[in-house]
Structure 1
Amino acid sequence: MRKVFLLSMLLCCLVGIATAQTRRLTGQVVNNENGSGLPSASIMVKGASQAAVSDQAGKFAISIPSGNVVLVVSSVGFANKEITVTNQTSLTINLNPDSKALDEVVVVGYGEKKKKDVTGAMSSLQSKDIVRSNPTLAAKAIQGQVAGATVTKASNRPGAPYAITIRGENTINNSTAPLVVIDGLMGGDINNINPNDIQSMDVLKDASSTAIYGARGANGVVIITTKKGVSGKPKVSYDGYAGIKYLAHIPKLRTTDQFYKLNYTDRIAAGQTGTVFTIAEQAKIDAHETTDWVDLATDPGMQASHNISVSGGSENTTYRFSGGYLNEEGNVLYTGFKRYNLNAGLDSKISDRIKAGFTSYVTYSDQNWGSQESLRGVFRARPTGTPYYKDLANPSQNGDIDVNGLAIWMGINDKQVPNPLSDIDPTTSKLQTKTINAIVNGYVDINIIKGLNFRTSLSASHLGQEIGDWRGMWSKSQIGAKPRTQLDNKKTQSYTIDNILTYKTDLGKHKLDFTALQSAFYQRDEITTIAVKDLPYNSYWYALQTGTITAQGSSLVERTLSSYMGRVNYAYDDKYLLTITGRADGASQLAEGNKWAFFPSVAAGWRISSEKFMQNQSLVNNLKLRVSYGEVGNSTVNPYSTQASLLNTGYDFDGVAATGFAPLNLANKDLKWERSKELNFGLDFSILKSRLSGSIEVYDRNTVDLILSQKIPNLTGFSQVTANVGKIQNKGIELTLNSVNIAKQDFKWTTTLTFTKNDNKLLELYGDGQLVDKGNKLFVGYPIRGNFDYKFDGIWQLVDSNAAKVYKQVPGSVRVVDQNGDGQISSTNAIDDRTYLGTQLPNWLMGMTNRFNYKNFDFSFFIYYRNGVQYSNSTLSGTFGDIGNRYNSLASLDYWTKDNPSNTYWSPFVANPYRSAINYQDASFLRISDFTLGYTLPQSLKTKLKMSNARIYAQVSNPFIFSKYTGFDPEFNSAIYQDDVPSVLVTMGLNISF
């Protein structure tokens, strides 16, 4: 017993001694210039393993050894500081803004460069900027956050891709998408990568920046760097959220009473025959009962994302592994998007001279878009329709059919719009895309001698896609016929080998950086298609042998690109900067003699703020003037544009039908690259002790040798040939501003604003002096993507009866402008009253993010404005159709009658040959979105829970949108085929790290 007692006392003493050896220190890390707390600052005990990270208010708590210790404190954008702690239990640590903040490294293509040394036009987004709005697709993060970039979604369907253009559209027939480089792999798909795995996105905009990519850089370059491991003990992080998508911003449709007034009361008043309603419809009318098809076909959708990563490593080897899952349900029933991704990366210092590593990324997605017609049918179905067969008053009157309990004709004598609930049913219609994308990049980096490095890398990607389109017996396209289906299988494989030699030397005030590159790229695209009809049962796109083949085919496209590049960066006294780049590309797409092209660029910078005459002032912290010129090419040309091709065709052979081949197009061995030449002026600045910083860009880009189909004399046997015959100009201004509006100890408010103004103009067409191509809506002197039609001039009124007769019109008809005043509306080549109305390209864009921090709370929201886009409203002209055809339509359509002399919408009871003119609408819009409120746990609590970070938040996306556009979403023009309704997303999320 005595031994036990003595042992217990000894243990207590040891514990006491151990406890006495450490003590708790609390404090706050602040900005020495304004006293505001610095979040995410690192506090480490020098020579020991103890470390802590400050919270949103800059506060921290750390266990330190007893006695005197030295703390090393650091924060991004601030100078590191070492502090000796004696017997203090609490202290405030002041950090000074670091003049070396400009030494932040950005990716510029085949290398990195300090931000202060950048001479071209580029923008960078870091991880926190990318995940700010919880985007399901990474491209969304660029919208409004990168000046010069236009990002537009294709539809509201879950998983629908975003399109990106940088500094306007440089081509007419070819792709305007920028080159995407993912961890060195050229040609990646930005929509296939999980935003949570991205460390940074660097957007290269001017030709001097993109010339390093030569024939692939004409549309700009987006360089994506995925997250890498950091040496230290393993760090486990989780980022996830869950939420609900609610229907929002949906146009109101007519009620049964409004529909009856339109199609019966007002028709009778106009002297026409009123619509004859069936017994089933009349029962609805008498009961004033409206069928809400939108409510029946939609539901709130769940959306959830879960991402977990593990990273760490030793001094010589670092690693990072991550996995992610996204589930986005559509608001239209039975639609959704699921994505699974795995990411692995390893970097190792094998010896003092050799480094090696790899990154691999695999994504699998399943996109179920349901029926192409379902949503369109929902908005075209009459409010007098009866959804379910059992509720029909007299089903035999219109030959209605019971299909799984649904009334296929809804008790209506109209066979154009079947019951939309039937099309929504996945046993009736289904459109599904399954995609697997794998990317692997491996490298070896060898330091040959001091300053001289050789790096070789191999990147490979595989994209496999299966697209199935099933139309059952009671889908709109079949209606009683046996099912049909189509199956497309697509496979794309690409490989890139880069050998890079770099040499850096520092000769006092002179700094030189040489880069030489040899690169080889190969891509193979395979597509197989089969379409089958008369399938005996619902087999989707399987058991195709049971039906009748209606179409089948396959294709193979291969392309290669061989490149050599050289780049020289020179800096004198860190004030005068010069970059010269030249790249030669040889591409397989073009014919001999035109395969190779050389793309040069030169850029210069002057760091004015480093001059002696700027030293004795406190207003300007940084001021750099840049100018650049570069030439780049467009390599998205069809690989076989230069060759003649054959068409499979039938012909008569001695009275017997035979199959053979005929020439499809004329070869053009002179076809060459589209080429862009760009001059850029830029100014980077930081003033008021970095309270306001940003950049201004002014550019003028001319793209020559546009590839278009040019008409040729019929005596050649062909009507047209692909040739280099056009010229486009894009010029504009870009502005990026970062401001610290308020910076107090417990409160901080910052704003980031981007502004983009781009003027697009077609300068030359076909090279023969032709100024107008009405068929393709191309007009020299105007932007491309133009609208060409009659100009709406209101509605003919009763007082205008005599004037309307001159144009063979009557009151209630659409009035258009007689451009030449000859008393007639014409559309011939000689006399044409149609005119250029506007463009589908934006005039200017603005994005603004506001962030607020109060102690441990953070709040932010995002504003996005787009101006100048004009659409021929596809929803108005297609989905809601011609209200004269008795389809449901917008309740807001204020149509003309004698008792309601509207000047905005025509009468459905008179002839309207020019009614398409009313569809052209301004699609400018203001969206206020991404309201986010977060709370970071106090440092003391995180320490107790052994967490390095813990934050919870709530977010509301897309709650407010303001626009005169009457379609579903002014961001894109849709007749809501394969579409979903707009929605508001409300989520709760969690970010934790151990």
Structure 2
Amino acid sequence: MEGLKYRTNVGLNFRMNNSGSYTGEGVFSPTPDNMSRAAISNSLTTQWVIENLLTYDRTFADKHKINLIGMFSAEENSFNRSVVSATDIARDEFRFYNLGQTTEPIVVDPAQQLYEKSGLRSYMARAMYSYDDRYMLTATIRRDGSSRLADGKKWHTYPALSAGWNITNESFLENNKSINLLKLRVGYGETSNQAVNPYATLGRLGLRPYNFGDQNAMGYYVQELPGPDLGWEYSQTRNYGLDFAFFNNRLSGTAEYYVTKTTDLLMRIGLPPTSGASGYIANAGNSMNKGIEFSLNGVILDNPDGLSWELGVNIYSNKNELTGLASGQDRDEGNWWFVGQPINVIYDYQKEGLWQEGDPYLDILEPGGNPGMIKVKYTGEYNEDGTPVRQIGPDDRQVIKMDPDFQGGFNTRFSYKGFDLGIVGSFQSGGVLISTLHSANGYLNLLSGRRGNVDVDYWTPENTDAKYPKPGGLTSGDNPKYGTTMGYFDASYMKVRTITLGYNFEQAFIKDLGLDRFRLYATVTNPLVLFSPFHKETGMDPETNSYGNENAAVTETYKPRLLTIGTNTPATKSFLVGFNLTF
């Protein structure tokens, strides 16, 4: 049948890992006769996907184009790992190859054993119609089923509809040579998200050793509660766009505006210790995102025999808002969720500086406090004589927005004869950056010892314009009171991500070598931070490298969803030199 096609796409990832480790007697131990130990680990990962697509593609009367697609797909992911260890291996030569050569019990660590399996099944139908390459219409419907979600909530069906108008091909622009592309787009669609770990509906048990008489025993406890009603998170998006190109395509770009409403957000809800469990995964609430995106690309100079220069820039801004919580409440202070505020916020005191000698109301706001301690914002009422009615307390915590006002990137390319130079960068304006190195429990604020650390600008009576509080004042554990506020920085920055310099040898030179193309190039990544308050103060790269629960010292301070700069691998500067040959 003319225009009818069938295609099957099949993919497979299959990975096996076998590893072993051995540590000799007394190694990595202050006790010389500490027993040797060995372990073996085996894991198997399989990921397969199959897609069946039936396509009907035809053009009628040279102007009517129809494209119909039907799809059925299935995928499955599985992972299985086991770890076995032993101590007091008879001889070093055995290493980890014969764990049976020990007089001690062989240990199977339950925490290291892992098995998980999940699958996804999908159906999709799409119809596209175009008339005279001027008017375009697309309609799609999709249905997905996920094994990760609860019974009765595994399947979700969602549609999409979009339309386009290619104004360039209208008769009233037929003789306009300056406009190469002018196209309006509008669309509405839904998408779904099943991003939870397998078996999240079942909860999770943890193991804990304990004493049972004169014996050591192992017991189970509830680590995470089950989510028997866990369902799809889905979003509804309206999008409006404009594509344009002028002056023989030397100036081109796009402009977008979108509004996305997300229902049944999949999030982890933390619970107080008195509940007996750390938390659970649930459809926690609803949110709304809206934003604009703008990109512009231009060919400023175009001389194939001389200097050419291309320049591009993109700017985007996104505002998100939590519009509802599943509990029906407006505030969930334990999880830092507040209706009407962005999802990613900090709920903490707001630092205003350090207390100085002679500052009024120190004894009222901070009983027992001292000059040189951190001063935070007071939000309470005042008496008739102007004195605060109470001391600083939990009611003075602020909702601090983390998201930037706008972000973007830029790229430029110069070429002159065989040489070319490319630069790619990014920028961000506003927002709050969390540095766990500077926050409470960070390496700069611990008061029990300096630990060979960097020089810190502490407050003293002779150094009252300092950034860090006076040691020995009011503390919270091993940290100054309100120490978390020391970790908040202006997140604005502009940096160069990559610089690439290359040279293409002329054909006359490489022809005798039997080559069609010969190019030398050198690339440097993260070479330069042009602007950043955080970089200026610390010398560190201003881009985040971890989540709030990935730095051991501060796992209880920040929510896992918040991006931070911590002790994880920082952005690195690298240099690369290479060549491309084409025979």
The TM tier, using the shorter chain, reads 0.7 to 0.9
Which amino acid is the alignment partner of residue 532 of structure 2? S
What are the superposed Cα offsets for residues 230-250 of structure 1, whole Å, 9 maximum, x if unpaired? Answer: xxxxxxxxxxxxxxxxxxxxx
What's the secondary structure of 1:557's corresponding residue? Answer: strand
Tell me the equivalent position of 1:409: none
Tell me the equivalent position of 2:533: 964
Equivalent of residue 314 in structure 2, options 754, 764, 770: 754
Equivalent of residue 901 in structure 1, options 437, 446, 464: 464
Residues 877-956 of structure 1: matches in 2 within 5 Å?
Answer: 877=439, 878-882=442-446, 885-891=449-455, 893-911=456-474, 912-956=480-524
Tell me the equivalent position of 2:2: 450
Distance 1:484 1:897, change over 3 A: farther
Which amino acid is the alignment partner of residue 833 of structure 1? D
Which amino acid is the alignment partner of residue 453 of structure 2? S
Kindly state the Cα deviation for residue 875 of structure 1 after the two structures are TM-superposed.
1.9
1:797 and 1:713 map into 2 onto residues whose CA distance is 37
What are the superposed Cα offsets for residues 399-435 of structure 1, whole Å, 9 maximum, x if unpaired? Answer: xxxxxxxxxxxxxxxxxxxxxxxxxxxxxxxxxxxxx
What's the secondary structure of 2:334's corresponding residue? Answer: coil
Do structure 1's residue 727 and structure 2's residue 273 form an aligned pair?
no
Tell me the equivalent position of 1:824: 391
- Bigger proportion of residues as strand: 2
8 Å Cα contact 1:967-1:973 kept in structure 2: no
8 Å Cα contact 1:880-1:888 kept in structure 2: no
Tell me the equivalent position of 2:153: 594
1:512 and 1:707 map into 2 onto residues whose CA distance is 38
Distance 1:950 1:661, change over 3 A: closer
1:490 and 1:652 map into 2 onto residues whose CA distance is 33
Kindly state the Cα deviation for residue 572 of structure 1 after the two structures are TM-superposed.
0.7
Structure 1 residues not aligned, in runs of 5+: 1-448
- Bigger proportion of residues as helix: 1
Moved more, 457-466 or 515-524: 457-466
1:489 and 1:869 map into 2 onto residues whose CA distance is 44
Kindly state the Cα deviation for residue 775 of structure 1 after the two structures are TM-superposed.
2.4
Residues 516-531 of structure 1: matches in 2 within 5 Å?
Answer: 516-529=70-83
1:707 and 1:973 map into 2 onto residues whose CA distance is 23
1:523 and 1:650 map into 2 onto residues whose CA distance is 32
1:956 and 1:639 map into 2 onto residues whose CA distance is 40
What's the secondary structure of 1:799's corresponding residue? Answer: coil
2:189 and 2:527 map into 1 onto residues whose CA distance is 42
Distance 1:906 1:665, change over 3 A: closer
Kindly state the Cα deviation for residue 498 of structure 1 after the two structures are TM-superposed.
1.4
Tell me the equivalent position of 2:556: none
Which amino acid is the alignment partner of residue 835 of structure 1? Q
What's the secondary structure of 1:959's corresponding residue? Answer: strand
Distance 1:757 1:533, change over 3 A: farther
What's the secondary structure of 1:783's corresponding residue? Answer: coil
Kindly state the Cα deviation for residue 940 of structure 1 after the two structures are TM-superposed.
1.3
Distance 1:977 1:573, change over 3 A: closer
Kindly state the Cα deviation for residue 510 of structure 1 after the two structures are TM-superposed.
0.7
8 Å Cα contact 2:432-2:491 kept in structure 1: yes
Q: Percent identity?
A: 34
Which amino acid is the alignment partner of residue 525 of structure 1? F
8 Å Cα contact 2:143-2:155 kept in structure 1: yes
8 Å Cα contact 1:533-1:550 kept in structure 2: no
Kindly state the Cα deviation for residue 574 of structure 1 after the two structures are TM-superposed.
0.6
Distance 1:575 1:466, change over 3 A: farther
Tell me the equivalent position of 1:799: 358
Residues 221-370 of structure 1: matches in 2 within 5 Å?
Answer: none
Tell me the equivalent position of 1:814: 374
How does the TM-score come out when normalised to structure 2? 0.81
Tell me the equivalent position of 1:84: none
Equivalent of residue 129 in structure 2, options 567, 570, 573: 570
1:944 and 1:815 map into 2 onto residues whose CA distance is 75
Kindly state the Cα deviation for residue 674 of structure 1 after the two structures are TM-superposed.
0.8
Do structure 1's residue 993 and structure 2's residue 582 form an aligned pair?
yes
Which amino acid is the alignment partner of residue 750 of structure 1? E
Distance 1:737 1:470, change over 3 A: farther
Distance 1:800 1:700, change over 3 A: same
Kindly state the Cα deviation for residue 734 of structure 1 after the two structures are TM-superposed.
1.4
Which amino acid is the alignment partner of residue 399 of structure 2? Y
What's the secondary structure of 2:359's corresponding residue? Answer: helix
What are the superposed Cα offsets for residues 931-968 of structure 1, whole Å, 9 maximum, x if unpaired? Answer: 22222111211222221111112333322113222373
Distance 1:982 1:679, change over 3 A: closer
Equivalent of residue 861 in structure 1, options 423, 435, 453: 423
Do structure 1's residue 702 and structure 2's residue 261 form an aligned pair?
yes
Distance 1:667 1:812, change over 3 A: closer
8 Å Cα contact 2:270-2:335 kept in structure 1: no
Tell me the equivalent position of 2:69: 515
Kindly state the Cα deviation for residue 986 of structure 1 after the two structures are TM-superposed.
3.3
1:710 and 1:863 map into 2 onto residues whose CA distance is 37
Moved more, 943-952 or 789-798: 943-952
8 Å Cα contact 1:487-1:529 kept in structure 2: yes
8 Å Cα contact 1:807-1:823 kept in structure 2: no
Do structure 1's residue 493 and structure 2's residue 46 form an aligned pair?
yes
Distance 1:800 1:884, change over 3 A: farther
Kindly state the Cα deviation for residue 680 of structure 1 after the two structures are TM-superposed.
0.9
What are the superposed Cα offsets for residues 753-793 of structure 1, whole Å, 9 maximum, x if unpaired? Answer: 2222111222212241x222222222222222322211111
1:467 and 1:460 map into 2 onto residues whose CA distance is 23
Aligned-residue Cα RMSD (Å) equals: 3.7
8 Å Cα contact 1:883-1:889 kept in structure 2: no
Distance 1:701 1:532, change over 3 A: farther
1:980 and 1:540 map into 2 onto residues whose CA distance is 31
8 Å Cα contact 1:942-1:949 kept in structure 2: yes
8 Å Cα contact 1:875-1:967 kept in structure 2: no
1:967 and 1:531 map into 2 onto residues whose CA distance is 43
Tell me the equivalent position of 2:554: none
Kindly state the Cα deviation for residue 907 of structure 1 after the two structures are TM-superposed.
1.6
Residues 384-533 of structure 1: matches in 2 within 5 Å?
Answer: 449-464=1-16, 482=34, 489-508=42-61, 509-529=63-83
Which structure has more relative contact order (CA 8 Å, sep 6+)? It is: 1
Distance 1:727 1:753, change over 3 A: same
Which amino acid is the alignment partner of residue 507 of structure 1? F
What's the secondary structure of 1:958's corresponding residue? Answer: strand
Distance 1:567 1:914, change over 3 A: same
